[in-house]
């Protein structure tokens, strides 16, 4: 079996950033929200290392050479910032200690249980330019980074319970990644596998050749990918060959054609002698209307259809199978968009096997309403959010129901004149079957005159009078200016 195009490129792409998703718990099992700790002024929380551009006006070749890894700036006995979580009787439940350097960067965070045992930790090291050079956590093990004179990452090393990984990056005079060496080993530090990637570019900067070689347990494999472009830089052809211990296996070839406007019109794919094609159709305004995939000698394949309104906004999208170019209904997925005068957009999604979902976002892109319906499982949810003038969340309500119980959760937030969170009011009502169950709690925040956190207290309002459940306090170091 031949290998698909793109093998080995993932390591090169890994030099980019990562995205974060949104997690929301709905249903009767939902618990009160995790109490967010207010931000501490002046504190910088480390992120993944960032590869900055070359200094303005500095030739790229001056950035080549040995990696530069500077020591972490010396900090004389950094004072710990201690956050303590207590129960209603004042008994310590959990303690978190953070240490920062003189620039306010987090050096260490340790979380302890009531007996003083370490539950979790994070440690960070920095170079003289503030870049992260090391990171160690109880969850992911230890990582170390190195950079060249231009600030580009040239080394990544990672150790954890399952083994280690080492990645080295080399750049050409134009600042592009020209080669990568990835080594993987077991916990004994023995090398298990080595992957070497070589990249070549044409005079216009287009990637024209990518060679990936694997060495493992006395065996070797190599994949060579070639890319060809027309005079305008459009990709015309991608081809790959794969060899295992010198034995060549069938490869893959993709050929691209374009219309007069430069839009991709057709992609022909040959894999192990099997041919397929993807054809694209556009309207007069250049919007994609149709994307049809077919196998040679077969009347069936995949089809995607698109519809737009007079403003060019997408209003409908079908995805499913086709026979002789006709979409089979019900489609695997059918999505529709509706646009309101206030700038909000509603996306409705229908799946061929039954479930439905709807989501509305306001003009700022924030989700303000949602619903899901699964008629087979007899499970339904819906909810909404509202925001304040600064974009702060004011209220969220979610409702879940099934053939048995149902649950409604309402969370309301209040802020002071400075925009700081001062109150979270949380209610959950569980009904069907009887009796109904209601939970009501509040999280109250207090700050000092400088706006630093003093206390977070959680109260049970089901009782009369209200009962303090737990509170979190911050010491003077956490509240010191610039801490």
Kindly report, residue by residue over 332-388, the tens digit of the pLDDT.
999 999 999 999 999 999 998 889 999 999 999 999 999 999 987 788 999 999 999
pLDDT of residue 56: 35
Domain that holds residue 205: 161-258
Question: Is 420 inside a domain boundary?
Answer: yes
pLDDT of residue 378: 83
The torsion defined by the Cα of 280, 286, 287 and 288, in degrees rounded to 10, comes to 10
Residues 438, 478, single domain; the answer is yes
Q: Return the number of other C-beta atoms located less than 10 Å from residue 129's C-beta.
A: 11
Residue 148 has pLDDT above 80, yes or no: yes
Residues 214, 125, single domain; the answer is no
Looking up residue 170, the CATH number of its domain turns out to be: 2.40.128
Question: Is 324 inside a domain boundary?
Answer: no
Residue 224 has pLDDT above 60, yes or no: yes
Question: Is 335 inside a domain boundary?
Answer: no
Residues 475, 417, single domain; the answer is yes
Residues 233, 165, single domain; the answer is yes
Distance between CA 189 and CA 121 in Å, rounded? 24
Residues 184, 101, single domain; the answer is no
Residue 100 has pLDDT above 70, yes or no: yes
Domain end position, chosen among 111, 126, 159: 159
Residues 368, 453, single domain; the answer is no
Please give the model's pTM, rounded to 2 decimal places.
0.73
**Residue with more model confidence, 98 or 29:** 98
The torsion defined by the Cα of 470, 476, 478 and 481, in degrees rounded to 10, comes to 140
pLDDT level of residue 37 (50, 70, 90 thresholds): very low
Q: How many domains does the chain have?
A: 4
Residues 389, 416, single domain; the answer is no
Residues 479, 413, single domain; the answer is yes
The dihedral built from the CA positions of residue 71, 76, 77 and 78, taken in this order, carries a sign that is negative
pLDDT of residue 362: 97
Question: Is 253 inside a domain boundary?
Answer: yes
Longest C-alpha distance within the chain, in Å?
80
Question: Is 419 inside a domain boundary?
Answer: yes
Residues 202, 249, single domain; the answer is yes
Residues 392, 446, single domain; the answer is no
Question: Is 146 inside a domain boundary?
Answer: yes
Question: Is 232 inside a domain boundary?
Answer: yes
pLDDT level of residue 465 (50, 70, 90 thresholds): confident
Structural contact between residues 265 and 244, judged by C-beta atoms closer than 8 angstroms = no
For residue 246 the two structure tokens come to: 């010198």
Question: Is 315 inside a domain boundary?
Answer: no
Domain end position, chosen among 400, 432, 453: 400
Q: How far is CA 73 from the centre of its chain?
A: 31
Residues 394, 411, single domain; the answer is no
pLDDT level of residue 1 (50, 70, 90 thresholds): very low
Residues 101, 69, single domain; the answer is yes
Residue 227 has pLDDT above 80, yes or no: yes
The shares of helix, strand and coil residues in the chain, as percent rounded to the nearest 5, are 5, 55, 40
Domain end position, chosen among 400, 430, 458: 400
pLDDT level of residue 50 (50, 70, 90 thresholds): very low
197-201 CB contacts, 8 Å cutoff, 24+ apart: 197/8, 197/11, 197/12, 199/12, 201/172, 201/174, 201/176
Structural contact between residues 277 and 267, judged by C-beta atoms closer than 8 angstroms = yes
């Amino acid at each position: 079996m031949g290998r698909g195009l793109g093998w080995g490129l993932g390591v090169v792409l890994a030099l980019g950033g990562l995205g974060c998703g949104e997690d929301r718990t709905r249903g009767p099992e939902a618990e009160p929200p995790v109490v967010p700790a207010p931000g501490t002024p002046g504190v910088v929380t480390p992120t993944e290392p960032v590869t900055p551009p070359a200094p303005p006006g500095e030739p790229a070749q001056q950035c080549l050479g040995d990696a530069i890894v500077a020591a972490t700036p010396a900090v004389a006995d950094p004072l710990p910032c201690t956050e303590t979580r207590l129960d209603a009787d004042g008994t310590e439940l959990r303690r978190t200690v953070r240490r920062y350097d003189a620039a306010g960067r987090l050096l260490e965070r340790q979380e302890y249980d009531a007996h003083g045992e370490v539950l979790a930790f994070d440690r960070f090291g920095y170079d003289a330019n503030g870049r992260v050079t090391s990171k160690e956590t109880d969850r992911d093990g230890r990582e170390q980074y190195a950079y060249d004179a231009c600030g580009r990452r040239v080394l990544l090393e990672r150790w954890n319970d399952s083994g280690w990984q080492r990645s080295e990056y080399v750049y050409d005079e134009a600042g592009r990644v020209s080669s990568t060496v990835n080594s993987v080993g077991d916990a004994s530090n023995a090398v298990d596998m080595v992957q070497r990637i070589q990249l070549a570019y044409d005079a216009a900067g287009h990637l024209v050749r990518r060679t990936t070689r694997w060495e493992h347990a006395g065996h070797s494999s190599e994949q060579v990918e070639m890319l060809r472009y027309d005079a305008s830089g459009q990709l015309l052809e991608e081809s790959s060959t794969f060899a295992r211990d010198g034995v060549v296996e069938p490869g893959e070839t993709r050929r691209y054609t374009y219309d007069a406007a430069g839009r991709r019109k057709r992609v022909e794919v040959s894999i192990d002698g099997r041919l397929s094609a993807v054809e694209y159709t556009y309207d007069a305004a250049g919007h994609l209307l149709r994307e049809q995939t077919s196998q040679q000698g077969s009347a069936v394949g995949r089809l995607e259809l698109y519809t737009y309104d007079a403003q060019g906004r997408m209003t409908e999208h079908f995805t499913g199978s086709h026979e002789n170019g006709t979409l089979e209904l019900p489609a695997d997925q059918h999505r529709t968009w509706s646009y309101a005068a206030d700038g909000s957009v509603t996306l409705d999604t229908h799946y061929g096997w039954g479930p439905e979902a709807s989501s509305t976002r306001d003009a700022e892109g924030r989700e303000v309403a949602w619903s899901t319906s699964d008629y087979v499982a007899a499970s339904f949810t819906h909810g909404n959010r509202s925001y304040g003038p600064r974009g702060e969340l004011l209220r969220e309500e979610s409702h879940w129901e099934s053939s048995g119980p149902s649950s409604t959760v309402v969370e309301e937030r209040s802020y002071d004149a400075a925009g700081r969170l001062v109150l979270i009011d949380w209610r959950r009502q569980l009904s069907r079957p009887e009796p109904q169950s209601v939970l009501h709690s509040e999280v109250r925040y207090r700050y000092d005159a400088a706006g630093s956190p003093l206390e977070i207290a959680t109260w049970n309002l089901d009782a009369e009078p209200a009962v303090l459940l737990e509170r979190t306090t911050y010491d003077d170091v956490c509240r010191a200016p610039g801490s």
